[in-house]
A and B are shown apart, each in its own frame.
Chain A
Amino acid sequence: MSETATLLRCEGLSVRFGGLTALNRLDLRLRDGEILGLIGPNGSGKTTFFNALTGLYRAAGGRTWFAGAEITGLRPQAIYDAGIARTFQRSRLCLPLSVFDNLMIGNHRRLSLGLWFNLCRRSRFAQELQRHVERARALLAAFHPRLPERMFEPAGALGMIDRRRVEVCRALISEPRLLLLDEPSAGMTHDETRELMDDILAARERLPGLSIILIEHEMGVIERVSERCVVLNFGEKICEGPFAAVVADPQVQEAYLGSSS
């Protein structure tokens, strides 16, 4: 793995809550364009890693570089601007707002937020709005042909799988270089999960260069989607490699199934 092709690099990343070490000296590298599966039992630090990476948690130690620049300790807003977008394990769509509004929240980087522009330049605002409507419609349509017609409905009116789709679209509309998916299958059936993964893989075809880190409990999903896996247990990386090698690792089996002795 050459240095130039590295998109994300963490060295010794640690997160502590009081006396509990949720993430312990994690070293991690992600190649540009790679899909990395992040697995591990409950409480092993996967979501903590996402929260630390996106600036929601302050790391107790370690450094992080993204796309050649150090992002250690940056605020969530700056991480977003650097090009990292995410979804949440428990859907955090703004349910009372329309699907379009939710997408525009993800599109924050491209919105003109000046007071004067928004309040007094209504015709120019309308032009900008029109451009964003078309972008949103195209993205939704690419994701699922049925979604654009629901663009002006409240997000809360959608079913679970469509909410997930909208949440992924909200993360993708800003055209990030790295997408963090936190257990997209949670609360969905097998069939729905497969459909959603098809959609995500199809979306990636159209967004060359998009890298993904995927947290997932469904091993079938990980096996199908990820090119490489990192296994966490009690906040530490215990194994790394292709899916087949990782599941064969005795340490991983012990973490999931418990010690046989």
Chain B
Amino acid sequence: MSARAAQQPVLWPAFAATGAIACFAYLFLRVEAQWEVAALAVGAVLALLAFGRTRLGAAVGAAWSVRPVPLAWGALLAASVVVALFAEDHFALLLIATVLLYGLACLGLTIQFGYAGVVNFSGAAFFGVGGYTAAVLATHTALPHPLVLAAGGVLAGAIGSLLVLPLLRTRGHYAALITIAFAILFKTFLEVNDALGGPQGLKVPGMRMLGWSFNDNIPLGEQTELSFYLSYAVFSLLLLAGALLLMRRLERSWLGLSLDAVRIDETAAAVFGFEVARWKILAFTLGNVLAGVAGAAYAMMTGFVAPASFTFAESLIMVSIVILGGLGNPVGVLAAAALVLVLPEKLQVIQEYRFLLFSGFVILVLLFRPEGLLPRTLRQYLPGWGRA
């Protein structure tokens, strides 16, 4: 009896959870009073911490495991509704699109760090490679913009494949140091390079696709005009949905298994025939491609790239998002991206102290919940896997 019930779980708790998250996102972006923002943020952290331990959490997990397709469409719909509710609000849409694009880059870091165990403290640098690629290509060539985005990803991946050579010869702290060095090197290179605008950076043309200019407001009737950020927010949402699908399939295959094997025990993996270098290169390149695409889209949205946006500190923020959310759990990473990026914008009191607060929070999480706010669960190769 109970086995049968587990095979056909009810879907409503999962839909309800999606709705609750959407309502929360709406409120979080809407409220102005500082104490309300703070209360919502604390509530969100507590809810995330408690989620996995409640029966609701188990029910939601079971529903997503067995019937992912309708739930995924539901989540996409809920996200679209939230975006639509802010259709005239430049600031809110900019925040949403920023979270989505940074989230995309952090998913890339998750493939590297969470799956294959390859540390990368230069995520912002690869984000920046994408941004600068977009700036140069969109300004000086007539390349269609979807290809500009792709080029941002390819170049980030290509530069990453140079960095991966020393990474393969080192482990642990030493590998981390190499990526830190690269992050600092990248910013310094940009600052002294006049062709790329030096410290002032470059302007980036807005995105155009299929005759649609992303940088024009969208007139709607006589009175209202929808914010041009709406186009970027929707586009970022689609990019992110694609990346989530890719990650899901990656994790639920022999590829995900191979990356895990290499992360957990390189020696044992080699003894059972795994080509450790191949898997590290795959994860590192794929992650950097995602970061590069995200960076290119972000640069075209903000209209401007400068070295100050791609510092080591930004890379640290990305790493802290990946750790806070739950190493290897895309959903947790997105939740953490939303909290970490939106909170300082909404809660101006903490603006100046945000690094202090984040580092304190990261230390707390590492001490008391090292697996992150939403820990990764066991691999499920297929819907309903392992519940027979």
CB nearest neighbor in A for B371: A96
Say whether A94 contacts B270, CB under 8 Å. no
Q: Out of B255, B379, B382, which one reaches A126, CB within 8 Å?
A: B382
Partner of B265, one of A77, A94, A101: A94
- Is residue B211 contacting chain A, with contact meaning CB distance below 8 A? no
- Chain A contacts for B267, CB-based, 8 A: 56, 92
A111-138 contact mask (Cβ, 8 Å, vs B): 1 or 0: 1110100111010011001000000000
B264 within 8 A of A: yes
Contact of A152 among B260, B264, B378 (CB under 8 A): B378
- Asked if A86 is an interface residue, CB under 8 A from chain B, the answer is yes
Chain A residues closer than 8 Å to B258, beta-carbon distance = 108, 113
> Among B254, B264, B270, B275, which residue has its beta carbon within 8 angstroms of that of A96?
B264
A108 CB to nearest B CB, Å: 4
Q: When A and B form their complex, what is the total count of cross-chain residue pairs whose Cβ atoms lie within 8 Å?
A: 93
Residue of B255, B381, B382, B386 with most chain A CB atoms under a 10 A cut-off = B381
Could you say which of A77, A85, A95, A126 contacts B270, with CB atoms under 8 Å apart? Answer: A77
* CB–CB B378/A108 < 8 A: no
State in angstroms the CA–CA spacing of A109 and B254 once bound together: 12
- Whether B265 pairs with A119 at a CB distance below 8 angstroms is no
Contacts of A105 in B (CB 8 A): 257, 261, 268-269, 272, 274
CB closest chain-B residue, reference A115: B255
Nearest to B246 among chain A residues (CB) is: A119
Inter-chain contacts of A154 with B (CB < 8 A): 378
B253-A125 in contact (CB<8A): yes
CB distance A94 to B264 under 8 Å?
yes
In the complex, are the beta carbons of B250 and A81 less than 8 A apart? no
Output the least CB separation between A131 and chain B (Å).
13
Residues 373 to 388 of chain B near chain A (Cβ within 8 Å): 378-379, 381-382, 385-386
Residues of B near A104 (CB, < 8 A) are 254, 257
With A97-B264, A97-B379 as contacts: A76 and B270 at CB distance below 8 Å: yes
B254 to A118, Cβ gap below 8 A?
A: yes
Complex CA distance for A95 and B273, rounded to whole angstroms? 19
Q: By the criterion CB–CB under 8 Å, are B275 and A77 in contact?
A: yes
B367 interfacial contact with A, CB 8 Å: no
Minimum CB–CB distance from B75 to chain A (whole Å) comes to 20
Residue in B255, B271, B382, B385 whose beta carbon sits within 8 Å of that of A86 in the complex = B271
Asked if A98 and B268 make an inter-chain contact with CB atoms under 8 angstroms apart, the answer reads no
In the complex, whether B249 has a CB less than 8 A from a CB of chain A is yes
Interface residues on A, range: 35 or more
Q: Are A97 and B260 in contact (CB under 8 A)?
A: yes
| B240 nearest CB across to chain A (Å) | 17
Cβ contacts under 8 Å, B270 to chain A: 55-56, 75-77
- Considering only residues 183-220 of chain A, those with a C-beta below 8 Å from chain B are none
Cα A225 to Cα B15 with chains together (Å): 58
Cross-chain contact B379 with A101 (CB below 8 angstroms): yes
A90 to chain B, nearest CB (A): 11
A81 contacts across to B, CB distance below 8 A: 273
Residues of B within 8 A of A126 (CB): 381-382
Check A129–B271 contact: CB distance below 8 A: no
Mark interface residues in A9-32 (1 if CB within 8 Å of B CB, else 0): 000000000000000000000000
A234 within 8 A of B: no
Q: How far is the CA of A100 from the CA of B381 in the complex (A)?
A: 11
10 tightest Cβ-Cβ pairs between the two chains A and B = A152-B386, A118-B253, A80-B273, A76-B270, A94-B264, A108-B273, A92-B268, A111-B254, A77-B273, A118-B255
**B→A interface (CB under 8 Å):** 246, 249-250, 253-255, 257-258, 260-261, 264-265, 267-275, 282, 378-379, 381-382, 385-386
Binding site for B on A (CB under 8 A): 54-56, 75-77, 79-81, 85-86, 88, 92, 94-98, 100-101, 104-106, 108-109, 111-113, 115, 118-120, 122, 125-126, 129, 151-152, 154, 170, 174
Given contacts A112-B254, A120-B249, 10 further A-B pairs with CB under 8 A are A56-B267, A56-B270, A76-B273, A77-B275, A94-B265, A101-B379, A105-B269, A108-B272, A113-B254, A126-B382
The 30 sampled A-B contact pairs (Cβ below 8 Å) are A56-B270, A56-B271, A76-B270, A77-B270, A77-B274, A79-B271, A85-B272, A86-B271, A94-B261, A94-B268, A96-B264, A97-B260, A101-B257, A101-B379, A105-B257, A105-B269, A106-B272, A108-B258, A111-B254, A112-B254, A113-B255, A115-B282, A119-B246, A119-B255, A126-B381, A126-B382, A129-B382, A151-B386, A152-B378, A170-B272
